[in-house]
């Protein structure tokens, strides 16, 4: 594969990393404003797998970029 393919993968990884950072900031902001048992249950029930999924995507993109190199 070409250098362009690797650059595309690295660029995608950067965008996913930015999304993960934004996600963490957003969760922190919501938690600061809405911090009770209901919010904890809501975040756990609906969003507990979001950060791990984004991290797995980052790892997969890195592995793909390494393979292309």
Indicate the pTM of the whole model. Answer: 0.84
CB-based contacts of 1, cutoff 8 Å, min separation 6: 68
What is the DSSP code (8-state) at residue 31? H
Question: How confident is the model over 7-36, as a mean pLDDT?
Answer: 95
In the predicted model, what is the mean pLDDT of the chain? 94
Q: Which residue has the tokens 């930015």?
A: 18
- Which long-range contacts link 64-67 to residues 24+ away (Cβ below 8 Å)? 64/9, 65/6, 65/9, 65/10, 65/13
Residue 31 tokens, joined: 């938690």
pLDDT-derived band of residue 62, with 50, 70 and 90 as boundaries?
very high
Largest CA distance in the chain: 51
For residue 1, is pLDDT > 70? Answer: no
What confidence tens digit (pLDDT) does each residue in 45-61 have?
Answer: 999 999 999 999 999 99
Question: How confident is the model over 22-44, as a mean pLDDT?
Answer: 95
């Amino acid at each position: 594969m070409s250098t362009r393919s690797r650059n595309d993968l690295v660029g995608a990884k950067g965008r996913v990393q930015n999304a993960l950072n934004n996600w963490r900031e957003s969760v922190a902001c919501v938690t600061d404003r809405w911090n009770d048992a209901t919010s904890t249950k809501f975040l756990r029930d609906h969003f507990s797998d979001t950060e791990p999924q984004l991290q797995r995507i980052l790892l997969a993109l890195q592995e793909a970029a390494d393979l292309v190199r």
